[in-house]
Amino acid sequence: MTPAILLALTLAATHPAPAAQRADSMRTDVEVRATVLRHTTDVQQCYQEEGLRRNPALAGQVELELTILPTGHVDRAAVPNSSLAGPGQKEVTGCIATRARNWRFARGPYAVETVVFPFVFSPEDASRGPTAVSADD
């Protein structure tokens, strides 16, 4: 049985840096989404290895907040909100934040930006593996 992971592709929030730190452009939603989608296996592994191993019924939503520097490095990764509850919750959210700190986005003349991605976890069978869904669907 493969757990289902849904990634809402609409950025929940984008917060530009203060005017003194702004660059000429922001990364496009498509660029940011593509990078996050490349790393869904990291998120899935955290859920399976840290969550389902401890609690086979663990399910819920996790919001991953990333602060991305112009260099493409993740300056900060945190989970400000999670509806996961019970054994495995802290381990899953900690694992996701730790792995996300190592993700790399495109480098360029970008502003420092913070984005939030909600991931929805379910232990139900998902034969297609991790699934990305658009909020527009």
Which tens digit of pLDDT belongs to each residue from 55-96?
A: 999 999 999 999 999 999 999 999 999 999 999 999 999 999
Hey, how many other C-beta atoms are within 10 angstroms of the C-beta on 43? 23
Hey, how many other C-beta atoms are within 10 angstroms of the C-beta on 68? 25
Among candidates 49, 42, 110, 106, which has minimal Cα distance to 77?
A: 42
Q: What is the per-residue pLDDT for 6?
A: 56
Domain boundaries, the chain: 4-133
Q: What is the per-residue pLDDT for 119?
A: 94
Q: How far apart are CA 49 and CA 82, in angstroms?
A: 18
Residue 132, pLDDT above cutoff 50: no
* Burial group, residue 107, by CB count within 10 angstroms (0-12, 13-18, 19+): exposed
Q: What is the per-residue pLDDT for 26?
A: 84
Residue 8, pLDDT above cutoff 70: no
User: Which of 13 and 61 is assigned the larger pLDDT?
Assistant: 61
